[in-house]
Amino acid sequence: MEKVQLEQRAAELNKVLTQYGHEYYDLDAPTVPDAIYDQLMKELIEIEEEYPDLRFPDSPTQRVGGQTLTAFEKVTHDHPMLSLGDTFSEEDVRAFDERVRQNIGDNFRYVCELKIDGLAISLKYVDGVFVQGATRGNGTIGENITENLKTVRSVPLRLTKPVTLEARGECYMPKRSFNNLNKERAEREENLFANPRNAAAGSLRQLDPKIAASRNLSTFMYALGTNGEEFGLTCHSDALDFLEELGFRSNHERRICTSLDEVFAYIEEWTEKRPTLPYEIDGIVIKVDDYDQQQELGNTVKVPRWSIAYKFPAEEVVTKVLDIDLTVGRTGVVTPTAVLEPVLVAGTTVQRASLHNEDIIREKDIRIGDHVIIRKAGDIIPEVKQVLFDQRAEDAAPYAMPTHCPACDSELVRLEDEVALRCVNPQCFAQIAEGLAHFVSRNAMNIDGCGEKVVAQLLREGLVKDVSDLYHLKMDELIQLERMGEKSATKLIDAVEASKANSLEHLLFGLGIRHVGSKAAKILAAHFETMDALMAATEEQLTEVFEIGEKMASSLVTYFANEEVQELLSRLRDAGINMSYTGKKVDTSETDSNFNGKTIVLTGKLERLTRSEAKAKIEALGGNVTGSVSKKTDLVIAGAEAGSKLDKAEKLGIVVWDEERLIEELSE
């Protein structure tokens, strides 16, 4: 057969196999026997092997797994993948509903969806072709797992329309696949996976895509990366339908609810029906449906204010307290942890449970040797619920917290208004180790090859005393360490050197300032631009920054006023550490626009620009685009069908432009 004919045949096979796969994996309604599918797949593989240039990116043969990878590269999400705030009771859901109504009134509806217990993923398409898949990671930076996601049958390699977009969802392992996998691993005497979520995450993070291909994973997509206005969508429920039209798989058990009673009825229904599902769920997601109302409610640094996750009641089991361990964190807080007889809780083997602090131990009267009821709050965090006093041994003695630090033997103190015992010795080995481990972590200075074990080695050998010493490590010192060869030492020194160029927010987060997480660090770095400017800022100036509250501002001022901190920063500066923000930032000295330094809200439908395009252009000219109208808003851009945000802006006397005025200003 001539190549031209083979090319036509390959295209035909590609199309028909994609359709058969969709019927089998997504619709559970196959129209041909497995033998015919296998025969056609074999024919396509043979054509592609003879002519590799006929192997297209969306070929069904790419599902079987390609070449083994050496590592996962990092991916920066175009828009943050926010977490959801968790609730565990009816009272929490009612409080969320009340906050929503206070901000947008009573004219809205919810979409309720099953919360799939898997791994959050992002799928990118260009002109309808799958080009990149990534994990959620820390919400800002994830890992590129494109090759592994290609093996998941429910991930379309080509969409039904040639659109460019990002879809977000959950990759999970069905219960049946999980049980089969663990059965096979047991037969091979390999460690079993604790639950389907861990199995799915472990499968997607295999460097060999063939392993991921063998695990029978699936997906449910639950959102677009943007609010979908560029596709004419006005609400979340329409976006889910749109995703299905494009060939994605979404969960059909969702429901639109117009009252809180309907939301609770949905929760009650799926609390009972949860065991009948072929996949694991750990709760219910509740979202405000309308996009404009979502924008008006906005987000915190970490979570959206328009959505929340109700987590199912925790499973409870009985086990025995074998011991109580004490750990010292980087802020000096001593945390007691119960060491338990291993027990299965909500699909996971639990051997430890946090006891939080001395007051909890005393209040619940927890003693070594006690039989206790433990549960996993939200199916995640193990905790001791109560002691079974009728099973207590007669010689069980009350537990007494130590008076001295278990790491450095310094006297422990309890600061005013705190329940925790704290070691205040700045030279405490455990605190320094925890602080160093945080400083070198991925979201901070990202010093590869310097994990907790290496940090502990460096401290024990006296090579480092604080984070600034990392920048004076020498090759001849490192290769003397146990299990630290020349290759590992070179890698570590190179990573230390590369970290000097990090943008300011990485250093800010790495310093471990109380209440300052990675996202807040980026907001501060982008606003103040230099460490000196941030150190000189007052509490009032800090709280003027979008999403920086009084508690964080007070913590920052206190931290930078410390002479030891100032000396540390001086040593880091002398070592060549960058102290400036190197992300996108407007040179305000040269920017003379009607957007510079102003807080701006976009609402309604724009005809000539997408909302994301308008936002990018405004921010490039120094504006700060937010999702809700308040007294701090300087300008509202109102498109067609603008709703409550426009009404609120007019009541507050805020300047309002239409799209034509926006285009005119942008042109200038």
Binding-site members are 34-38, 83-84, 113, 136, 170, 287, 311, 405, 408, 423, 428
For helices 196-204 and 175-187, what crossing angle results, to 10°? 80
The CA–CA distances, whole Å, from 203 to 193, 198, 214, 300 equal 11, 8, 9, 32
Closest CA to 527 of 508, 510, 511: 508
Strand partners, 171: 119, 219
| Separation CA 233–CA 605 (nearest Å) | 10
* 3-state DSSP percent of the chain in helix, strand and coil, to 5: 40, 20, 40
Rg (CA), the chain: 28
Strands in 612-668 per DSSP E: 624-626, 635-638, 655-657
Strand partners, 602: 637
Q: Which residues touch 486 (CB under 8 Å, ≥6 apart)?
A: 475, 479
Q: Which residues touch 417 (CB under 8 Å, ≥6 apart)?
A: none
The number of angstroms, rounded, from the C-alpha of 98 to the middle of its chain's C-alpha atoms is: 26
How is 547-573 classified by DSSP, letter by letter?
Answer: T--HHHHHHHHHHHH-HHHHHHHHHHH
Give me the sheet containing 655-657, strands edge to edge.
624-626, 599-603, 635-638, 655-657
Query: How many of the other CB atoms lie within 10 Å of CB of 617?
Result: 17
The CA–CA distances, whole Å, from 531 to 133, 164, 432, 506, 586 equal 35, 39, 23, 12, 17
- Specify whether the CB–CB gap between 351 and 532 falls below 8 A: no
| Separation CA 395–CA 545 (nearest Å) | 58
Residue 3 a catalytic site member:
no
| Separation CA 52–CA 50 (nearest Å) | 6
| Separation CA 340–CA 361 (nearest Å) | 15
| DSSP state letter for 290 | B
Query: How many of the other CB atoms lie within 10 Å of CB of 580?
Result: 15
Q: What are residue 365's phi and psi, to 5 degrees?
A: 55, 55
The CA–CA distances, whole Å, from 124 to 134, 145, 168, 224, 611 equal 9, 12, 9, 10, 19
How buried is 481 (Cβ within 10 angstroms: 0-12 exposed, 13-18 middle, 19+ buried)?
middle
| Separation CA 616–CA 633 (nearest Å) | 18
Tokens 């005013």 found at: 416
Catalytic residue among 3, 15, 42, 115: 115
Helices (H) then strands (E): counts for the chain: 24, 22
Q: Which residues are catalytic?
A: 115
